[in-house]
Amino acid sequence: MLRTTVLVTLCASALITITAPAFAASAEELKSEQGTLEVTPVVQGLDHPWALAFLPDRQGILVTERPGNLRVVSSDGKLSAPLDGVPKVWAKGQGGLLDVVLSPDFKQDRTVYLSYAEGGGKGDKAGTAVGRGQLSQDLKTINNFKVIFRQEPKLSVGNHFGSRLVFDRDGYLFITLGENNDRPTAQDLDKLQGKVVRIYPDGQVPDDNPFVGQAGVRPEIWSYGQRNSQGAALNPWTGVLWENEHGPRGGDEINIIERGKNYGWPMATYGINYSGLPIPEAKGETAEGTVAPHHVWEKSPGLSGMAFYDADRFKAWQHNVFIGALVSQELIRLQFDGDKVVHEERLMGELNKRIRDVRQGPDGYLYVLTDEADGVLYKVGLK
């Protein structure tokens, strides 16, 4: 029943349309290999926005701002006041309010999931937490918010929280977790740093997780050896979870996540320390017993956000993947032959904006967030 409900909800959401905002500035026309790229501001003045989620029935778009605000962008481009009922966040360094996703049964339960940095660790340290609550009908409040997951122990002084939230076709919730800039913890199975975890929507641990029942091992863990995963998405053609993560100085990766596998950090990396020195724990670009990256950038774009394109609106983009780039300030388009990357294009570099998130909208356009003090939500398509 869980799988059937999720699939019905996903199919219904494909029928939703988002209208262009009435006030929006004129589209900027940029060059691309598929033709003229139209980039239209939907709303401006966002404070370091981090993620977005589309509400059904043209109710608008939920947007998180890292300092701790959750807002609604209406279908005519108006920005709401911050919603009440959002948890207090630890807004330091890279920490704050992070990802947002809707329950697969949102039309019935109105449940919204949020990930965020939560304080309370020894020495004012923080970790990633995930909770859920119900969005009020007037779109002004998150009611009955409850934490369903906490990264333990809390080790971050402001770095490497992850985190993306992804529901799979069977209704399980995946959470990507950074290693809090504490490299060895990504290999420690008694800790939740540098992991992808898999839980039920209420936070319970499925019995078929790979490490359930093993002494000294966290049962939530699905995979490990990740550094700082700030992009993740379900491949719509295979149903398999993909994630991308920051390398250190070089070595940003795409990984196809498999049950119980070790993705190598910090033993295996294509990068070096920001100081220019080698990673002390690294044994090379690959290491025995670990999974090599599916795709790697030796020069880091600073990956964040990830969207598979499977809409009919722009045929030239079908079966492509789009990823935001914070450091190189671009939208990366990847073209595939099967699962193999065969071509890469860099888009929107003329705007000189740090791209934090990218999602495919129900209308077939891409929606892109820029991580700035005056952040922008853009609608992106081909002319």
- pLDDT surpasses 90 at 13: no
Compute the average pLDDT of residues 204-220. Answer: 98
Spatial neighbors of 338 by CB under 8 A, at least 6 apart, are none
Alpha helices in 282-346 (DSSP H): none
pLDDT band at 54 (very low <50, low <70, confident <90, very high): very high
pLDDT band at 19 (very low <50, low <70, confident <90, very high): very low
**Using CA of residue 276, residue 277, residue 282, residue 286, what is the dihedral sign?**
positive
85/133 Cα distance (integer angstroms): 8
Q: Helix, strand, or coil here: 78?
A: coil
Say what the pLDDT of residue 176 is.
98
φ and ψ of 256, to 5 deg: -95, 115
Residue 6, token pair as written in the block:
């999720």
Say what the pLDDT of residue 20 is.
38
- pLDDT surpasses 60 at 173: yes
Q: Look up residue 231 and give its amino acid.
A: G
- pLDDT surpasses 70 at 7: no
Helix (H) or strand (E) holding 45: strand 37-46
Whether residue 56 has a cis bond before it, omega within 30° of 0: no
78/42 Cα distance (integer angstroms): 9
Q: Look up residue 67 and give its amino acid.
A: P
Query: Rg of the chain over CA atoms, in angstroms?
Result: 19
Task: Using alpha carbons, select from 294, 290, 266, 289 the residue that is nearest to residue 278.
Answer: 266
Say what the pLDDT of residue 4 is.
40
Task: Using alpha carbons, select from 24, 81, 102, 29 the residue that is nearest to residue 359.
Answer: 102
- pLDDT surpasses 60 at 14: no
Kindly list the strands in the beta sheet with 69-73, ordered across the sheet, starting from the edge strand earlier in the chain: 49-55, 60-65, 69-73
**Using CA of residue 40, residue 43, residue 47, residue 53, what is the dihedral sign?**
negative
| All structural domains of the chain | 28-382 (2.120.10.30)
pLDDT band at 6 (very low <50, low <70, confident <90, very high): very low
Say what the pLDDT of residue 8 is.
36
Task: Using alpha carbons, select from 38, 39, 74, 27 the residue that is nearest to residue 55.
Answer: 74
Compute the average pLDDT of residues 303-328. Answer: 98
Task: Using alpha carbons, select from 174, 183, 130, 175 the residue that is nearest to residue 155.
Answer: 183
Question: Catalytic residue among 48, 160, 246, 295, which?
Answer: 160
Say what the pLDDT of residue 96 is.
98
Q: How do the residues of the chain divide into helix, strand and coil, expressed in percent and rounded to 5?
A: 5, 40, 50
pLDDT band at 5 (very low <50, low <70, confident <90, very high): very low
- pLDDT surpasses 70 at 145: yes
φ and ψ of 253, to 5 deg: -135, 155
Whether residue 21 has a cis bond before it, omega within 30° of 0: no
Say what the pLDDT of residue 260 is.
98
Say what the pLDDT of residue 26 is.
83
Q: 260-281, pLDDT tens digit by residue?
A: 999 999 999 999 999 999 999 9
Q: 59-74, pLDDT tens digit by residue?
A: 999 999 999 999 999 9
Compute the average pLDDT of residues 322-326. Answer: 98
The reply to whether the predicted model has a pTM over 0.85 is yes
Residue 173, token pair as written in the block:
């919730």
Between the CA of residue 11 and those of 5, 157, 169, 173, 252, what are the distances in Å?
A: 10, 41, 12, 19, 33
Q: Helix, strand, or coil here: 115?
A: strand
Average pLDDT of the chain is 93
- pLDDT surpasses 90 at 117: yes
Q: 184-207, pLDDT tens digit by residue?
A: 999 999 999 999 999 999 999 999
- pLDDT surpasses 80 at 350: yes
> Where do we find the tokens 């019995």?
207
DSSP character string of 244-256 = EE--SBS-EEEEE
Q: 330-347, pLDDT tens digit by residue?
A: 999 999 999 999 999 999
309/251 Cα distance (integer angstroms): 25
Q: Is 246 a catalytic residue?
A: no
> Which DSSP category does 206 fall into?
P
pLDDT band at 25 (very low <50, low <70, confident <90, very high): low
- pLDDT surpasses 90 at 18: no
